[in-house]
Each structure stands twice: as C-alpha cells, then as structure tokens.
Amino acid sequence: MEPSARLQSIRPSPIRVLSEGAPADAIPLGLGEPTWDLPEPARRALAQESGPCGYGPNAGLPELRRAVARWHGATTDEVLITSGSEGALFSLFMAWLGAGDEVLVPDPGFPAYPALARMAGAEVVPFALSEQFQLDAEAFIGCLEAHPRAKAAVINHPSNPTGGGASLEELRAVARACQQRGILLISDEVYRDLHFGTRPPSLRDAGSYGLVLGSMSKGWAAPGLRVGWAVGDPRWLTPARTVHAFAVTAASAPCQRAALALLEASGDVLPQGRREIKLRWEALALAWQEFFGESLTPPAGAFYHWLSLPEEAQQDPMAFCVKLRDEAKVVLVPGSAFGVAGHSHARLSFAAQPEKIREGVRRMAPYWRRS
Ligand SMILES: Cc1ncc(COP(=O)(O)O)c(C=O)c1O
C-alpha cells in the first residue's frame, strides 16, 4: 500500500537524516537543540509530580496560559498551549489552509513550514530574505502582491537557519500589509530570548495583528518537554485548538507544570541560556579565527552560523555534507534543506558543547581550503 497522496512531496527532514546516519564519533553541529542541562526549576517540578496524571484542558493548563499571557502582555484567552510550537504550526495550518490556498514561507527557512503547509493541502510560496538574511518587508510585500491566493504567511526571527533578525519597522510594514489583506500572519519567535546583547523585537511590539509562536525548546533549554504556544486573537486560535485537541488532546500536563516553573524562573533561566550560547559563540569565533583566518560577527539570535559552501560543493551540497560527515566526521546541514535560496550555504549549529565546536571547525576547515 502507498502512503497518502499528501505525503508524496514530503521527505524526512535532511537535518534528522544527516544526524541519525552519523558515525558515532562525528561532531554534531547539525541539530538545533540546547546541549546544556534542563534547568533546575523544571527538574524539581517534574520530581514533585504526584496524584492522578490527568489530560488537562485542551487549550492548556489555566495557570500556564495565564503565565504565558503575562509574558507576552496578552490576555489568557489569547493563549493556546500546544505540543511544542510545531504543534501550533500544524494546528494553525490544518485549521486555516486547504487546497488552492497559498502560504508564504521564508527561503531559506525552517523545513517544517513547507512540509506542514503541503500536508494541509496548501501551496508553498517562498519569499526572499535580505542580503544579510534579515526580514525584508519590501520583498515580503512584493511576494504578497504577486500571490492574491495567499491566505497565511510565516515569518521567523531570529531565523533558523541564518540567525538573522527583523527590525521593528520591517515588522510593522509586514503586519500592515497582512492586515490590509486579512492574511493570517504567524511570527515564529522561538529563538527570541537567545540573543547576544539586545533582545530582538516581537511582532507584538509592532501592534496587535497576527499570532506569535513561542516555545520552551530554545531559551528555556527544554525541547524534550514539548511545550510551546501561540498567542494572539482568539478568533484565529479557536479552530486551531479544535485541530490540536483531536490530534493530541493537550500538551503533556506534567510538562506544562515544568514549563510554568521555568517561565516563573525566567529571570535566572534565560540569562543562563544566554551565557551558554555566548560561551559556544566565543568557541566558534575563536576556532574560526584559528582555522579559517576570519573573524565572525554574532547573529541577531539563535545558535546558527550560516556559512558559504566551497564552490565545488555547490554542485551537490547534500553529497558534500554526507562526505564531510563520513570522512571528516563533522555534521553540518546543507542550506538546500532550508529552501532553494540556501543552495550555496550550510548551517552550522553551535548549540554543541564548546570543546566539540573547536574540534568540528578544525575537522571541516581543510575542505574549504581545498577549493
Ligand atoms: C524556527 C523554528 N520554529 C519552531 C521550531 C519547533 O520548536 P518546538 O516544536 O520544539 O517548539 C523550531 C525547532 O527547531 C525552529 O527552529
């Protein structure tokens, strides 16, 4: 039997394929997940679980919804707690998109956007980022004007895979354009609190239009909890809540209690996360100077370095990354995994342990010098 037609254009994420097939001694600069410990408040909350372990309400535990609402300056009915922010994306796309609809996604961008949009039956329309890989309102609006069937759009800042951000002016212009056309604007801000000095702006700083996605997975260092959320107008959220309820009932209740403990301890947990990525960034910058002879400037946020591939590697970036993985034993993800515009780049995740970062850069450098 064949899988359903909706899966025909969808392949497993190359990020996972490359990482899961890696030799045991390969340096993992592929996956985008924190490698520092789950912070103490979450461990304590999980250890304190007692009594029945119920499902909890579909929209999330009221105390967590209230805390997320406070975090975003929203009201409780503007918060939907989901199974990771990916649960929010899935539910929103299934709720609002169908055959004949178009959805704008960044190129390069997180591979789940086009995959989930296609699963919902929609057509994917990539929009370009600026030359510095920031949100470019002019390019976004141009794309919107050329696609009158667009029903939703996703922006992501700081960006996976580039680390690029979005200025408040660009966010305002994008929100205005979407509001004028009644388009569902989803602002994926899961990396917002992993920055290198200045906290990047949120779509919510640009006004009340659109939805913001957040997550425990990056700044709060708890991807395994699978707790994320969408914040904004309940009229957008209610149909998504129905999808999420039938798909998974609710995010795990013990994990939501751990998420609440993390959110309440944000004053300690987030600066600690930033110290961890600063350490890793410094390890990368030092190693880059040593083995590539170049100095690097930090991204707007997240833990990704978006680097140019050697010319010869651009013939077949996936083959190059497989060779790098199996010969040099270092895992990078080809930029082509993030869209057509990523073809000449690769993503290096510096979420890895600092000592592994130096060793990874040492191993990969000869492949750049050869070309
Ligand atoms: C840009 C972006 N959005 C969303 C997610 C999904 O995060 P989660 O489902 O763990 O909240 C990721 C994960 O890597 C991501 O990079």
Domain ranges of the chain: 5-37+267-369, 47-265
What does the pLDDT read at residue 20? 85
Which pTM value belongs to this model? 0.97
| Domain 5-37+267-369 architecture | Alpha-Beta Complex (3.90)
Which of 69, 61, 150 is CA-nearest to residue 104? Answer: 150
- Residue 371 has a pLDDT of 54
Torsions phi, psi for 218 (to 5 deg): -115, -80
pLDDT for the residue 56: 97
pLDDT of residue 367: 95
Separation of CA 257 and ligand 1 centre (Å)? 20
Ligand 1 contacts (CB < 6 A) are 32, 84-86, 110, 156, 160, 188, 190, 215, 217, 223, 228
pLDDT score recorded for residue 15: 82
pLDDT at res. 370: 65
What contacts 51, CB < 8 A, 6 or more positions away?
none
- Low-confidence residues in the chain, pLDDT < 70: 370-371
52 Cα: distance to centroid of ligand 1 (angstroms): 30
In order of 11, 129, 204, 224, 245, the CA distances from 216 in angstroms are: 26, 26, 19, 9, 20
* pLDDT value of position 290: 97
Give the model's pLDDT for residue 164.
Answer: 97
User: How many helices (H) and strands (E) in the chain?
Assistant: 12, 12
How many other β-carbons are positioned within 10 Å of the β-carbon of residue 149? 11
Closest atom of ligand 1 relative to the 188 alpha carbon: 3
Ligand 1, atom 16, lies closest to the CA of 160
What's domain 47-265's architecture? Answer: 3-Layer(aba) Sandwich (3.40)
Q: Atom 1 (ligand 1): residue with closest C-alpha?
A: 160
The token pair at 76 is 């409780």
Copy the structure tokens of residue 246: 């039938």
H or E element, residue 63: helix 62-72
Q: Which of 160, 191, 229, 248 to mutate to test the pocket of ligand 1 (most atoms within 8 A of CB)?
A: 160
β-pairing, 345-349 vs 304-308, is: antiparallel
Q: Which of 64, 77, 115, 111 is nearest to 93 (CA)?
A: 115
pLDDT of residue 241: 98
Ligand 1 atom nearest the C-alpha of 85 is 11
